[in-house]
A and B are shown apart, each in its own frame.
Chain A
Amino acid sequence: MAEKSFETTSQACCSTSSESSPILALPMDTPLRKVLSRISGFASSWGKKTVTAPRGRRIFHRDVEQDEFQNGSAHCLSSYYSVFVARLAIMVMLAILIGLLTVLTWHFTRVYTTKSLNTLAYGLRYELLQRPILRMWNVLNSTSEITTAQVKLSEYVIKRYSKPTNQAELIELYQMMKDITWALFASHKALNAITINYRNGFVQAFHRDHRSNNTFYIYSDLANYSISDTQSSQQGWNDQFIHGNESAIWYRQPLDPVTGEKQGKPSQIPPEDLINIAGPSQVPDGVASWHVAVSKYTDSPLLSAALPVRDASNRSIVAIVGVTTALYSVGQLMKELVEVHSGYIYLTSQEGYLLATSTNTPLLNNTANGPKLMMATNSEDRVIRMGAQWLQKTYGNKFPPGHVVHVEKANLGGQHYYIDSFFLNLKRLPMVGVIIIPRKYIMGKVDERALKTLVILISASVCILVIGCVCILILTNGVSKEMKLRAELISHLDARRRAEASSNYKSQFLANMSHELRTPMAAVIGLLDILICDDCLTNEQYAMVTQIRKCSTALLRLLNNILDLSKVESGKLVLEEAEFDLGRELEGLVDMFSVQCINHNVETVLDLSDDIPKVVRGDSARVVQVFANLISNSIKFTTSGHIILRGWCENPIVSSDSGKLSPDQKNPLSALKTKLKQHGNHMKKASKKDNKMILWFEVDDTGCGIDPSKWESVFESFEQADPSTTRTHGGTGLGLCIVRTLVNKMGGEIKVVKKNGQGTLMRLFLLLSTPADGIEQQRRIDFAKHGVAVILALHGSMGRLIMSKWLSKNGVPTLEASEWNELTQILHELFHARTTNSGFDTHYSLAKPLRSKVQTLQDMKNPVYIIVVDLGLLDLSTDIWKEQLNFLDKFSGQVKFAWMLNHDTSNAIKMELRRKGHILMVNKPLYKAKMLHILEAVVKESYVEPPNGSPNGTKGTSKQGDSHECLEIDSSQFETCSSDDSDISEMTGANSASSVGVGEQLKEGTVLKSGPPTLRNCLVEFTRLGLEVNNLRTEEDQCNGRPKLHDTKDVKCENPDSSEQPSVRSNAKDRDNSYTTNKAANEQKTLEGLRILLAEDTPVLQRVATIMLEKMGAVVVAVGDGVQAVEALNCDLDRDENRTNRLQTEICDSPPYDLILMDCQMPMMDGYEATKAIRKSEERTGWHIPIVALTAHAMSSDKEKCLQVGMDAYLTKPIDYKLMVSTILSLTKRSP
């Protein structure tokens, strides 16, 4: 039972494997994979059963990682099983294949051998049988011939002695016959006997006994026969003749077998003892007859033939001749054949009497009546008997036609034999020959061999199978390893995907979190601002609140950084594409940072190459953020020395140029150049298409530097070169990370570059596109033409060096002085040497190169000298500076002074300077734009008046305008750095507006092409920028560890200064001033006269916003939803039109509201729809009422949507007081 079931299962297994085996043979095909997967699925489901138990236990740990691992191992296990099954299947298939091959080989070889052997055997048997039959045939033939010969001879003799008349003649005849017959008999040794039976009953016979080898002559008594008898009846034989002459006396005389002579006395023998003597009965019809006879002298049957001898007239039979031949020879032949070939042969008559066999068994039965022929079935030989019996049993009497039987496998007594029988159809003596050959004889070897072959084949195939299995094992080992690896890879991929997903979630979470945190933080800061504005605070409280505000801004900055980072990571950061003045942005940045640097003796230098395009397209806020982060980072770590921001354009000429500017940087620079060549080439291709250019920048500081091993890692988030710096310098390590992500986003790269000497050198390039209308030609006056010479008396050596290089490159000869004494030296050299009335020039010995420079300056014709004097050169600590000023005043006729002020230069000094007519004052640091302004101012002045004659008093008011303008531009930039912490959020907003808008307008002839879109973008972006700049500054303030009170004093002493500035400004900018100075008394009413439509559905918010706006003096109309907003606007429009007719006031050309605050989510009609509707209705009037969105979300996608429908800016809820004010101002200010 068990065995059976096992069998069925194994069968099933076989069937499945055989099912899959044809596919398995294919190399890793899809069907194969399918099958494998099915198998593996099966295996895995199988394997899971074993795995589930521990898994279930471990699931309690709730450890995801472990679970994952478990999963992976299960995966591995399943793949292992699949491999195992596949291997098994291949093996089974191989086994089947080899088995089939073996069986087929064996079968075919066997069949072929058997067939050919059988054919051969058949031939052999046929041949074997044929030969005795032929012999038999021969025997018969020869017998017949002899008989015929005897007959013919007898006839002849009898003819001669025809009608013997007497006894003597008769005796003579008989003697004659005896001689002839002897001759014949002697010549045929095989003959047994020849008999002649005469009509008268006389018998003559020769007989040869083969056993005793005797020859006898047998004759009957002659006396009994009369001649008359022969004559008396011609018609028939006499009685004796017919019935046998029993009465006659028979004699036998032995003869010499060779000569035939008589050897002894004839002895009388009984007639029955005699041999067969053919009588007339045997030839009843006169033709030859055959029969098989038996004689008692031989143990073999005899073949006897009888033929009548006729008389001359051929009418009557005279005698009968009989010839008897022993079939002994046939048997002999058979024996011989069998001896050679083995087997058994026998001949039978048709009746089944044995005639001859190949054995020695007797053929005759010794019965009482004498020997008789034996039936084959009674043969004493076992095999022959059985063969005959088998034949009889099989066929009975119904032999197939011709008695031809071929049986290959006859079972005779437990052994197999071939039995073949042939029929020999002789006339009157049909014979059947049978040959029985043991199968063993022919096929014995074959069968034996077949068995051996089979055994060998099976063993060989088993060997092959084993080897094949081993091979498969070895081969599939690799596959299984690969499978395992794949499984691992898959699990790794899975893990990675999960990790990525989780990282994505993290970014998302951070973005949301920072957003959620940012809103309250903004509120905190706003409220602090309000608190600071409050006058009722004591000094301590004020200081505390200021400190809180700083901390809050620091926190907000961190949040912003995180938000930025996660935005970039989650791919939500959208870079703007707007035109902006790169140089101006960077100058503003440097201005801002230089304020901090001055406090700790660090020089901030901006070194932009001339070929940098003035206007580029890109995200200005982000670009500024990049550099702000980098520079603030540098400042943080630099205690003394300089920070240089270099910039140049991707251009071979420029690169050499900049290399000249900084010779120590040449090598690394060129190395980088070559390194980035391919990249550059690639970029160039891209840039040619859409007018993009690669701008290179370097931020070079002399700080503590970064360890080379950290050069890469400093750009990672929360990574700092030295963790300990957090204590001393603060910061989170996000700045550089943001920088890198931003730079990469802009298609650039940033890296730390090896630098000679102390400090860090950050190098980056940005891919920015230039406006499509081509690079505008920079306005440049050829200063060399005007004969201008500049003396740079500046503290900072780096800035001075760079500036002088640049000037001399532009054809302006320069002299440098780093301190007061040097300046005086130069001045003496220049002017006193010429006038030669000086007594103290001898002990001033200038250095040679300087002297030669002075010489070249002196060679110039009517040069206009400009001395750029750093105020720090003067000794401000005491009152000496006044004397120094007086000293310089002496030269004021010959030179123009431009004063470099510090941001904290006291007002008294400024007043003094102004009093003395030094109206060219700029704030530090000095960079090209400022230098250009100075030069332009001077050159213009020198055009108006002859350069040589311009004494002190002649400085008319006409020139003052120019100077003021020049000053104005500087002061507008000056605001950036002088603005204090508290109001910077608006300041930068205003600054960006004024620097792009107002500042540009003042510059004659250089109204920037960037129109409203740029402006709008700036305004929209200002919140971020403002916060950014604000934060930067706050943090640095903290790092500097400036005393708080000092800071506040700073602010306080600043304010009068900035409130003083407007006196120089034109009236057109009064509005700007009003919000830049938020501490002024009129701050409360900054929105005075503005009409604002507020669309907000939430009553609470509506009320809050209304009060907020009204508090600032605005007239607020509040509506509940978008439909009302649109209606309010339209009815106002109508009313306006009516009013226009009636009053004709100045309102006629202005829209009913100056601004609309629009909530985005409202019932009936949301903010987006309302805005669209309003913008549509505006089309007919041509107005553009600024619409500010109020949203609950601060993602840039919302912003995008807001801007898309036509809004101008957006604010986040809850409303931040200050942000709202600044936004509204920036939007309304623009409208006339």
Chain B
Amino acid sequence: MDLVQLQRQLVEYRTSLYHEGFLDEQYTQLQELQDENNPDFVVEVVSLFFEDSERLLNELTKALEQQSIDFKRVDAHVHQLKGSSSSIGAQRVQKVCIAFRNYCEEQNVEGCLKCLQQVRHEYSLVKTKLESMFQLEQQILSAGGSIPM
């Protein structure tokens, strides 16, 4: 495939992610940090994020299924999720997390469940987006090209 076209596609895709608010500067900062010493830094961090998020989401689901909900725990989990999502720049997840925490403070079960759904949704969205982007990058790399910044 045409390498240049691939590269352009990647750039466009990434820009669209920024535009649609899936990612923010923080992701850019992550990319900055990637260098020869840590060639797969972004992928590493993002997969870390995926793992962590899935764990947290499971925890949250469990916690919210409970008869008497421990809102402190839920809040702690959401806080973690918020922290990790903001660190990779998944800002839509982060935003939902903020709303989630508000509901937690109000001890609003309905809102929490709604937010959990939203978080799941956003998370899966950002996950697919990022994964497809990484695939693109992989393609470029395998084609012998460099990833444009």
Q: Is A37 an interface residue (CB 8 A)?
A: no
Q: Does B16 contact A (CB under 8 A)?
A: no
Q: How far is the CB of B74 from chain A (nearest CB, A)?
A: 14
B-facing mask of A1191-1202, CB < 8 A → 1, else 0? 010000000000
Contact with A along B57-74 (1 / 0, CB 8 A): 000000000000000000
Tell me if A1100 and B88 are in contact (CB < 8 A).
Answer: yes
Query: Is residue B17 within 8 Å, beta carbon to beta carbon, of the partner chain?
Result: no
Contact (A1103, B25) CB under 8 Å given A527-B32, A1111-B35, A1214-B86? no
Which of A1104, A1161, A1163, A1213 gathers the greatest number of chain B CB atoms within 10 Å? A1104
Instruction: Tell me the complex Cα distance, A1213–B85, Å.
Output: 12
Is the C-beta of A730 less than 8 angstroms from some C-beta in chain B?
no
**Interface size (B, Cβ < 8 Å)?**
28
Is B107 close to A, CB under 8 A? no
Could you give, for residues 1095-1119 of chain A, a 1 whenever the CB lies within 8 Å of some chain B CB and a 0 otherwise?
0011111011001101100000000
Residue on B with the closest CB to A1163? Answer: B76
Q: Is A106 an interface residue (CB 8 A)?
A: no
How near does chain B come to A520, taking the closest CB pair, in angstroms? 6
- Interface presence of B13 (CB below 8 A): no
Given contacts A1100-B48, A1101-B84, A1161 and B79 within 8 Å (CB-CB) = yes
Most buried by B among A520, A1100, A1107, A1192: A1100
A1100 touches B45 (CB 8 A): yes
For the complex formed, measure the closest distance between the CB of B6 and the CB atoms of chain A, giving whole angstroms: 21
- In the complex, are the beta carbons of B38 and A1217 less than 8 A apart? no
> Which residue of the partner chain, among A527, A1099, A1100, contacts B28 with CB atoms under 8 Å?
A527
A1161 / chain B contacts, CB cutoff of 8 Å:
76, 79
Chain A's closest residue to B44 (CB) is: A1103
A383 close to B (CB within 8 Å):
no
B87: Cβ under 8 A from any A Cβ = yes
Task: For chain B, residues 1 to 41, give those with C-beta under 8 angstroms from any C-beta of chain A.
Answer: 24-26, 28-30, 32-33, 35, 37-38, 41
Interface string of B84-108 (1 = CB under 8 A from A): 1111100000000000000000000
- In the complex, the chain B residue whose C-beta lies closest to that of A523 is B25
**Main SS of chain A's interface residues?**
helix
Tell me the complex Cα distance, A1093–B44, Å: 21
List of A residues within 8 angstroms of B35 by Cβ: 1111
Contacts of B83 in A (CB 8 A): 1098, 1100-1101, 1192, 1213
Is there contact, CB below 8 Å, between A1101 and B87?
Answer: yes
Contact check, A1100 vs B25: say whether CB atoms are below 8 A apart.
no
Decide yes or no whether A530 CB sits under 8 A from chain B. Answer: yes
Chain B residues whose C-beta falls within 8 Å of the C-beta of A1098 in the assembled complex: 52, 80, 83-84, 87
What is the CB-to-nearest-CB distance from A179 to chain B, in angstroms, rounded to a whole number?
Answer: 147
Tell me which residues across on chain A come within 8 A of B28, comparing CB atoms: 527
B29 touches A1100 (CB 8 A): no
Question: Contact partner of A1111 among B26, B33, B48, B82, CB < 8 A?
Answer: B33
A337, CB-defined interface residue at 8 Å = no
Q: In the bound complex, what is the Cα–Cα distance between A795 and B120 (angstroms)?
A: 69
Interface size for A (C-beta < 8 A) is 23
Cβ–Cβ contact A1217 & B84, under 8 A: no
The number of A-B residue pairs with CB atoms under 8 Å apart is 71
A530 and B84 contact, Cβ closer than 8 Å, known pairs A524-B25, A1161-B79, A1163-B76: no
Task: Say yes or no: is A526 at the interface (Cβ < 8 Å to chain B).
Answer: yes
CB distance from A236 to the nearest CB of B (A): 144
Using an 8 Å CB-CB cutoff, how does the interface string of A1110-1134 with B read, 1 for contact, 0 for none?
1100000000000000000000000
* CB–CB B52/A1104 < 8 A: no
Given A527-B32, A1111-B33, also A1103-B26 (CB < 8 A): no
In the complex, what's the smallest C-beta–C-beta distance from A1106 to chain B, in angstroms?
A: 10
Q: How far is the CB of A1182 from chain B (nearest CB, A)?
A: 35
Query: A1107: which B residues are within 8 A, CB to CB?
Result: 33, 38, 41, 45
What residue in chain A is nearest B98 (Cβ atoms)? Answer: A516
Is B51 located at the chain interface by the 8 A CB criterion?
yes
Residue of B at shortest CB range from A1100?
A: B84
Select which of B26, B29, B33, B80 is within 8 A of A1097 by beta carbon: B80
Contacts of A1097 in B (CB 8 A): 80
**B67–chain A nearest beta-carbon distance, Å:** 23
Report chain A residues within 8 Å CB of B29: 523, 526-527, 530, 1104, 1214, 1217
- How far does the alpha carbon of A526 sit from the alpha carbon of B48 in the complex, in Å? 24
Distance, CA A1213 to CA B26, complexed state (A): 11
Shortest Cβ gap from B97 to chain A (Å): 11
0 or 1 for each of A1172-1194: is its CB under 8 Å from B? (1 = yes): 00000000000000000000100
- In the assembled complex, how far is the CB of residue B100 from the closest CB belonging to chain A, in whole angstroms? 14
User: Of B24, B76, B87, which contacts A1100 at CB under 8 A?
Assistant: B87
Which chain A residue has the least Cβ–Cβ distance from B25?
A523
User: A1201-1215, CB under 8 A of B: which get 1 and which 0?
Assistant: 000000000000110
Q: Enumerate chain B residues within 8 angstroms of A1213, measured Cβ to Cβ.
A: 83, 86-87
Bound Cα distance from A527 to B28, whole angstroms: 8
**Residues in chain A near residue B52, CB distance under 8 A:** 1098-1100
Chain A residues near B33: list those with CB within 8 A.
Answer: 1104, 1107-1108, 1111
- Complex CA gap A1108/B87 in Å reads 12
Please state if A1099 and B48 are interface contacts (CB–CB under 8 Å): yes
Q: Which residue of A lies closest to B80 (CB)?
A: A1098
Determine the distance from Cα of A333 to Cα of B114 in the docked complex, in whole angstroms: 124
Closest CB in chain B relative to A544 CB, distance in Å: 16
Interchain CA distance A527-B31 in the complex, whole Å: 11
Annotate B106-139 by CB proximity to A: 1 below 8 A, 0 otherwise: 0000000000000000000000000000000000
**Residue from A1099, A1108, A1217 whose CB has the most chain B CB atoms within 10 Å:** A1099
- B105 to chain A: closest CB distance in Å? 14
CB contacts (< 8 Å) of B37 on chain A: these are 1110-1111
Contact A1104 B30 (CB under 8 A): yes
Contact in complex: B79, A1103 (CB < 8 Å): no
Contacts of A524 in B (CB 8 A): 25
Q: Which residues from 1055 to 1108 on chain A have a C-beta closer than 8 Å to any C-beta of chain B? A: 1097-1101, 1103-1104, 1107-1108
The residue in A527, A1101, A1111 that gathers the most chain B C-beta atoms within 10 A of its C-beta is A1101
Chain A neighbourhood of B84, CB < 8 A = 1098-1101
**Alpha-carbon gap, A1161 to B25, bound state (A):** 23
Kindly state the separation between the CA atoms of A520 and B33 in the bound complex, as whole angstroms.
18
A1099: chain B residues within 8 A (beta carbon): 48-49, 51-52, 84
Please measure, in the bound complex, the distance between the C-alpha atom of A1100 and the C-alpha atom of B88, giving whole angstroms: 7
User: In the complex, what distance in Å separates the CA atom of A1100 from the CA atom of B42?
Assistant: 10
Nearest-CB distance from A1220 to chain B (Å)?
11
CA distance A1104 to B85 in the complex (A): 12
Within 8 A of B (CB), among A954-975: none
A-side contacts of B80, CB under 8 Å? 1097-1098
**Within 8 Å CB of A523, what residues of B?**
24-26, 29
Least Cβ–Cβ distance between A654 and chain B, in angstroms:
52
Q: Complex formed: what's the CA distance from A524 to B82 in Å?
A: 19
Task: For the complex, give the distance between the alpha carbons of A1161 and B76 in Å.
Answer: 8
Complex interface: chain A residues within 8 A of B86 (CB): 1213-1214
**Complex: A788 Cα to B44 Cα, angstroms:** 70
Residue contact B45 to A1103, C-beta cutoff 8 Å: yes
Q: Report Cα–Cα, A1101/B85, bound state, in Å.
A: 9
Chain B residues, Cβ within 8 Å of A1163 = 76
Given contacts A520-B24, A1104-B88, 7 further A-B contacts (CB under 8 A): A523-B24, A527-B29, A530-B29, A1099-B49, A1100-B83, A1104-B45, A1192-B83
A-B pairs with beta carbons under 8 Å apart, 10 shown: A523-B24, A527-B28, A1098-B84, A1100-B45, A1100-B85, A1103-B44, A1104-B88, A1108-B33, A1163-B76, A1192-B82
| Residues of B that sit less than 8 Å from A by CB | 24-26, 28-30, 32-33, 35, 37-38, 41, 44-45, 48-49, 51-52, 76, 79-80, 82-88
> Which of A's residues lie within 8 Å of B, judged by CB?
520, 523-524, 526-527, 530, 1097-1101, 1103-1104, 1107-1108, 1110-1111, 1161, 1163, 1192, 1213-1214, 1217
Query: Lowest 10 A-B CB distances belong to which pairs?
Result: A1100-B84, A1098-B83, A1101-B87, A1098-B84, A1100-B87, A523-B25, A1100-B49, A1107-B33, A1099-B48, A1103-B45
